[in-house]
Structure 1
Amino acid sequence: MPSDPLPGQRTPYPTPSPAAQALAARCESRVNELARRMAREDFERLPGYAELPADVKDVEVAATVRNGLRLFLRRVRDPQGRAGDYSLFRERAAQRAEEGMPLHTLLRSHSTAAYVLWQALRSEAGEGEEGALIELVDFLLRGHEAVIGAVAETYLVEQATLSAEHREQRRALLRGLLDGSVPPQSTLEELGIEGRCLVVHLHLPREKRQAPSDVADRRLVRRLQAVLDRTLNTEVLALLDTDGGHLLIPQEADDPDGIRTGEELTTRLRQVGGDDIRLAVVGAAAARDVPAAARTAADIVRISRACGRPPGLHLMNDVLLEYHLSRRNESSDRIAALLDPIADRPDLIETLRVHLEQRHDRRSTARSLGLHPNTVDNRLTRITHLTGLDIPSARGSALALAALLLRADNRP
């Protein structure tokens, strides 16, 4: 009696009786006939098989069947010997995955081959060979289980590799489109987008995130991508990391400004990224407009953060003045430097930002910051003393807002 296999080892094949070996040997002369029959007749019933090129059926498929039949017969003769391995099955499985044959069709072809071999054994069995036939069926089923496992494993690994390569190619193309490093003429068509598109910038807050780890980061990105794909019912083009990123989606005719799409994405993404996510959506009429749209969307989010606007969907109309004030020119550095005297006082910077957002209402500012109104007054007086800015005046308020926005360029 053979001993039980160790964990991870295959159970040894039992040694067939001389009668079973003799029955199997009578089928050896039929190997070529059976292989041709399967490749040209039996497999034709399988979905998608008829569309395969004739040379694939007559050469690759027939050769794989012959290999399987001979492997079975050799193992019957010498179950513990060197009958061969499943390398050809694995090679063909990888090829079928690359060609796009469905896995169920591939597995059914192997099951059909096992059934045809069983029919051949049954037709060869004579009176009194019932026991030998049962031995061979047991042997066949055990071998078929191993073949199916090897084929399915190889197919899925190859399919996963191909999918990863496909996604990376699309990401590389999108990355090049966003930064302007690839010619834009046909890029959208290659990415599967026709006509106008929407460029979305997504920002995820760092400060409320749990301690980062590679596993948690990858999981977050995968969940974000899954939500995007489910929401838009397609594989969304996205360049995402744990801080957010950009995505490119077709523009719907009945949603020309992208507001409806942006609101739906915000609602769904909050389920994964939390309530503090921010989104901006900007339209692009053609591929050449995508880089500028991406920069604009990112600027809208940055400015909305700098102004203290609540998280959610941000639109250009919400920050028109702030967007204009944040544009850089020869005066930008001087304006930003107006707040240098309080650069090391984040409490004063935050008080100024919230006070401007609350339209100079000291009580609203105090409530937002959790302070007493007198504390707000003291801080504003200190800001005026250190910077020289007359915050209550229209000019001082505009300068302070512009300085905050220009300094926000360096904010993470």
Structure 2
Amino acid sequence: MPSTPPPAPHGGRSALSPTARAIAARCEGRVNELARHMARESFERLPGYRELPTDVKDVEVAATVRHGLRLFLQRVRDGGDGSGDYRLFRERAAQRADERMPLHTLLRSHSTGVHVLWQALRDETGAGEEGALLELVDLLLRGQEAVIGAVAESYLDERAVLLAEHREHHRSLVRGLLDGSLPPARAFEELGLEGPTLVVHLHTPDAPGGGASAVTERRRVRRVQAVLDRTFEAGAASLLGADGGQVIVPRGTEDPGGARSCEELAVRLRQVCGDGVRVAALTAATAPEVPAAARTAARIVQVARACGHPAGLHRMEDVLLEYHLSRQDESSDRIAALLDPIGDRPELVETLRVHIELRHDRRGTAHRLGLHPNTVDNRLARIAELTGLDIASPRGNALALAALLLRGDAPR
């Protein structure tokens, strides 16, 4: 599709010679012929163009070509200021984006249109008019830069909007599937899933220095999603936040348990989010099993953090005993009540949680909490005094851990 030049200098009038204008005028009667030629023949060799519906080629594409040709010829004729000249190009670029035409095909169509117009101008050039032809080519090429910029910008803007809408729709489907507000079969169908799926829970560490801005959090989510897209080529439906989230992806036949993919995912996420990334994954045989699998995967990560396991990929086997201790049964209330004496002392609960997570490293606990090691010692002594738990002993540590998990005070 031919380009159009930017506004001409010197009061909006073209500096073209009368001969150059005469050459362009000879092409005015060929506008419809050239538009048909481009729409039906010249563009046919572009990748993906053949697949366009016939009415799109004969109506939309041809109309855009005619618009570009007439705009160029008008610029040559009267040097108009070009206000709003690119509106139709922008609208068509957005339409092609919505139709998923590749950007390179769209841009090549504009370049092809410029070449066809150059050929028409050359054919109309007589002996001794070569200098005037160069004037027209200069004008044509200068306009190409502006048009290509407008087309690419509109296309990419539209694709960004469509991608955001697609992501948000998928987020709502995953949310509805996990919280039970959508029928599992319907959610699966709209997500394009069928058969066994891999249900993944991600935990990404807090940003250095504490809280992060909303912009930083959105950037992190985009980076995590990009890693997911690269790792799970079949497509990952996700519900992500600043600290991770849930992912549902078709189970691969070559990696049915997802161990290899999740190991690779953890490595890639560390490059994006830093150390401290944790991943757990379970297989759901059917759509109704997904919510339970998601809860279990999240619990595995939570228990692994609470027990101070190194970051990375966690399996149920890694936390089997601790996971069992965290399950609700007839003894659960009594175990959880062991921490009631410090229930209104959040600083003591947090110190206990971090100390167990860091495997009784008092200096590490002090560093994490921003305290002096002696303050940590004093708090631990106070916890033992109030609860009667000797967390330095295996039994006391197990009871304290189970109580934290049952009360929901373990890290999330």
Determine if the TM-score, normalized by the shorter chain, exceeds 0.5. yes
* CA deviations over 1:89-108 (Å, ceiling 9, x no partner): 11111111111222222222
- C-alpha distance in structure 2 between counterparts of 1:367 and 1:288, whole Å: 46
The aligned residue for residue 310 of structure 1 is 310
CA distance in structure 1 between the aligned counterparts of 2:168 and 2:349, rounded to whole angstroms: 45
2:61 aligned residue: 61
The 5 A counterparts of 1:109-120 are 109-120=109-120
Q: Secondary structure at the match of 2:168?
A: helix
Moved more, 208-217 or 32-41: 208-217
Residue 270 of structure 2 aligns with which residue? 270
Task: Describe the SS at the equivalent of 1:279.
Answer: strand
- Structure 1 position 284 matched with structure 2 position 321: no
**Which ranges of structure 1 fall in alignment gaps of 5 or more residues?**
1-8, 359-363
* SS of equivalent to 1:195: coil
- Are the structure 2 counterparts of residues 84 and 77 from structure 1 closer, same or farther at C-alpha, using a change threshold of 3 Å? farther
Code of the residue aligned with 2:262 in structure 1: it is G
Post-superposition Cα deviations, 1:331-377, rounded to whole Å, max 9, x if no partner, equal 6444322212234385687569867997xxxxx8779879xxxx999
What SS is found at the alignment partner of 1:283? strand
Q: In the aligned structure 2, how far is the partner of 1:15 from the partner of 1:156?
A: 34
In the alignment, which residue of structure 2 is the partner of 1:191?
191
Q: Indicate the larger mover: 336-345 or 235-244.
A: 336-345
Give the corresponding residue for 2:32: 32
Post-superposition offset of 1:116:
1.8
Evaluate the alpha carbon distance shift between residue 212 and residue 369 of structure 1 in structure 2; reply closer, same or farther with a 3 A threshold: closer
Question: How far is the alpha carbon of 1:75 from its aligned partner?
Answer: 0.9
**Counterparts of residues 204-219 of structure 1 (less than 5 Å):** 204-206=204-206, 209-219=209-219
Partners of 2:44 and 2:391 in 1: CA distance: 82
Shift of 1:230: 2.6
3-state SS of paired residue (1:238): strand
User: Percent identity of the aligned residues?
Assistant: 65
Pick closer, same or farther for the CA change 1:395–1:258 going to 2, 3 Å. same
Per the alignment, do residues 189 and 222 of structure 1 end up closer, same or farther by CA in structure 2, a change over 3 Å counting? same
8 Å Cα contact 2:200-2:279 kept in structure 1? yes
Structure 2 segments unaligned to the other structure (5+ residues): 1-5, 367-374
Kindly state the Cα deviation for residue 324 of structure 1 after the two structures are TM-superposed. 3.1
Partner residue, 1:225: 225
Contact 2:337–2:403 at 8 Å: present in 1 too? yes
C-alpha separation in 2, matches of 1:146 and 1:385: 76
DSSP 3-state at the match of 1:239: strand
CA distance in 2, matches of 1:141, 1:382: 80
**Hey, what does 2:145 align to over in structure 1?**
145
The CA deviation string for residues 241-278 of structure 1, in whole angstroms up to 9 with x for no partner, is: 22111111222334443333333322332222232222
TM-score, normalised to structure 1's length? 0.83
The structure that has the greater radius of gyration is 1
Q: How far apart, in 1, do the equivalents of 2:111 and 2:396 lie?
A: 81
Paired with 2:361 and 2:55, the residues of 1 have a C-alpha distance of: 78
Give matches, 1:60-139, under 5 Å.
60-81=60-81, 85-139=85-139
**Range moving further from structure 2, 382-391 or 123-132:** 382-391
Which residue is 2:258 aligned to? Answer: 258
Q: Aligned equivalents of 1:382 and 1:356: distance in 2? A: 19
* Cα distance in 1 for residues equivalent to 2:377 and 2:143: 84
Map 1:376-391; keep pairs closer than 5 Å: 385-388=385-388
SS of the residue 2:185 aligns to: coil
The answer to whether the aligner puts 1:169 opposite 2:169 as a matched pair is: yes
CA distance in 1, matches of 2:89, 2:43: 16
**Contact 1:390–1:396 under 8 Å retained in 2:** yes
Q: Is the 8 A contact 1:351 1:376 kept in 2?
A: no
Counterpart contact for 2:354–2:365, Cα < 8 Å: no
Deviates more, 1:290-299 or 1:138-147: 138-147
Amino acid at match of 2:22: A
Answer yes or no: is the 8 Å Cα contact 1:302–1:408 preserved in 2.
no
Question: Aligned residue for 1:361?
Answer: none
In structure 2, C-alpha distance between the alignment counterparts of 1:356 and 1:16, rounded to whole Å: 78
CA separation of 1:140 and 1:265: change in aligned 2, threshold 3 A: closer
Q: Quote the RMSD (CA, aligned, Å).
A: 3.5
Within 1, Cα distance between the matches of 2:82 and 2:355? 78
Instruction: Work out the number of aligned pairs and report it.
Output: 396
8 Å Cα contact 1:71-1:83 kept in structure 2: no
C-alpha change, 1:115 and 1:349, in structure 2 (3 Å) is closer
1:236 maps onto 2:265 in alignment: no
Distance between the aligned counterparts of 2:377 and 2:81, measured in 1?
Answer: 91
> Which residue in 1 is equivalent to 2:181?
181
Partner residue, 2:48: 48
- Residue 289 of structure 1: CA displacement? 0.8
Secondary structure of 1:185's counterpart equals: helix
- Take 2:164 and 2:311, find their aligned partners in 1: how far apart are those partners? 33
- The answer to whether the 8 Å contact 1:279/1:313 transfers is yes
Indicate the residue corresponding to 2:247 in structure 1.
247
Aligned partner of 2:326 in structure 1 is: 326
Deviation string, structure 1 residues 124-169 (Cα, Å, up to 9, x no partner): 2223323322222222222233222222221121122222222222
- Report the Cα offset of residue 31 of structure 1: 1.2
Deviates more, 1:76-85 or 1:108-117: 76-85
Give SS of 1:249's match: strand
- Paired residue type of 1:49: Y
Q: Residues 58, 326 of structure 1: CA spacing in aligned structure 2 closer, same or farther, 3 A cutoff?
A: same
Check whether the contact 2:94–2:155 (CA below 8 A) recurs between aligned residues: yes
The secondary structure found in structure 2 opposite 1:26 is helix
Q: Which moved more, 1:77-86 or 1:237-246?
A: 77-86
**Greater Cα offset, 245-254 or 319-328:** 319-328
Letter in 2 for 1:217: E
- 1:23–1:84 distance in 2 versus 1, CA, 3 Å: farther
